[in-house]
């Protein structure tokens, strides 16, 4: 089963670890599927090094998108920010 369903979904939509990335092209999905198949970061990096420069940059962009989507997903679950609230209290008049 592909790691990407359709053009935007990573993993199974019922999976709590799934993420969604909007605006992907069919080519992006193909690249993400290929990237998802690697078990080791070193293998992904070795494959990326074989690509032409424009595709290397696109893979790098896709990696950043996946990381940001995961971070966004994690931040959605955080309800309280005690350190930020403490700092804001210091600046309130």
- Per-residue pLDDT band for 6 (boundaries 50, 70, 90) equals very low
Tell whether pTM > 0.75. Answer: no
The predicted structure's pLDDT at residue 12: 45
| Site of tokens 């080791």 | 40
Number of domain units in the chain: 1
**d(Cα 51, Cα 61) in Å, to the nearest integer?**
14
List pLDDT tens digits, range 23-56. 999 999 999 999 999 999 999 999 999 999 999 9
List pLDDT tens digits, range 52-90. 999 999 999 999 999 999 888 888 777 777 888 888 888
Range of the domain at 13: 4-91
The predicted structure's pLDDT at residue 59: 97
Which structure tokens are listed for 45? 């990096």
Which structure tokens are listed for 53? 């420069």
**d(Cα 49, Cα 43) in Å, to the nearest integer?**
10
- Strand spans (E) along the chain: 4-5, 9-10, 19-20
């Amino acid at each position: 089963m592909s790691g990407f369903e359709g053009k935007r979904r990573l993993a199974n939509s019922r999976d709590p670890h799934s993420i969604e990335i909007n605006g992907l092209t069919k080519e992006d999905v193909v690249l993400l599927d290929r990237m998802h198949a690697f078990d080791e970061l070193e293998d992904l990096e070795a494959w990326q090094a074989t690509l032409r420069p424009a595709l290397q940059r696109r893979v790098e962009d896709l990696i950043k998108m996946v990381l940001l989507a995961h971070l966004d997903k994690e931040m959605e679950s955080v309800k309280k920010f005690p350190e930020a609230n403490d700092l804001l209290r210091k600046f309130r008049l």
